[in-house]
Amino acid sequence: MMGTVLSTVGSLLPYHILSYGTLLGTELFQSFINTKICFHYLPMREFLALQKHIFPVYFGCQIGLAVLTAATHPPYGIISLVKDVWSVIPLGIVVGMGGLNYFIFGPRTMTASFLRRAVQEIDKTADYVDPVRAERVNRSFSRNHAMSIHFNAIALVATVWYGFRLSSNILAGF
């Protein structure tokens, strides 16, 4: 019994399952619970301030956990993963989508949301409202936010796809 536990501790499989499970759980929680609750219960100014700090951490964790999942691929880590192309693809998609959100669309969405909020505040007190300016910032926010949402959804689908691939590998005995 103790020998089995010790051999398991020395295997990559438990670490792989834990990193994969953490990746999937983080994606599900952030996408479907945390953001929705915060949006519903926080005033917009506080919601934006919170999201400005949460999303870079989330996208960074998404990338890091996908890399950790790849690095712990049983039985020999990256060497084993390279030989399993159908596992490389979904993890590569997760890293790619997370990277696009971390470096490009996350920051663009945050900037556009703060700009949009500022324009709305100015328009509330201004004698003249420039509809072109408002439309431009709304369009910028909508475009970047939609890209970020879609990339996150693609990453989530790829993570689930990888879960099925992982299950297949476990059932086949790697």
Task: Give tens-digit pLDDT for 35-51.
Answer: 999 999 999 999 999 99
Assess if residue 1 is contained within a domain.
no
Q: Is residue 2 part of a domain?
A: no
Q: Could you tell me if residue 5 is inside a domain?
A: no
In a domain, 6, yes or no: no
* Rounded Cα gap, residues 141 and 7, in angstroms: 52
The rounded distance, in Å, linking the Cα atoms of 73 and 71 is: 6
Domain of 53 in residue numbering reads as 11-172
In a domain, 23, yes or no: yes
pLDDT band, residue 4 (cuts 50/70/90):
confident
pLDDT at 1 over 80: no
Identify whether 91 is part of a domain: yes
Q: Are 75 and 11 spatial neighbours (Cβ–Cβ below 8 Å)?
A: yes
Q: What integer pLDDT is reported at residue 80 of this predicted model?
A: 95
Rounded Cα gap, residues 57 and 55, in angstroms: 5
Q: Is the model's pLDDT at 130 over the cut of 90? A: no
Residue 56: predicted pLDDT = 98
Does pLDDT of 29 surpass 70?
yes
Note whether residue 4 is domain-resident.
Answer: no
The number of domains in the chain is: 1
Tell whether 57 is covered by a domain: yes
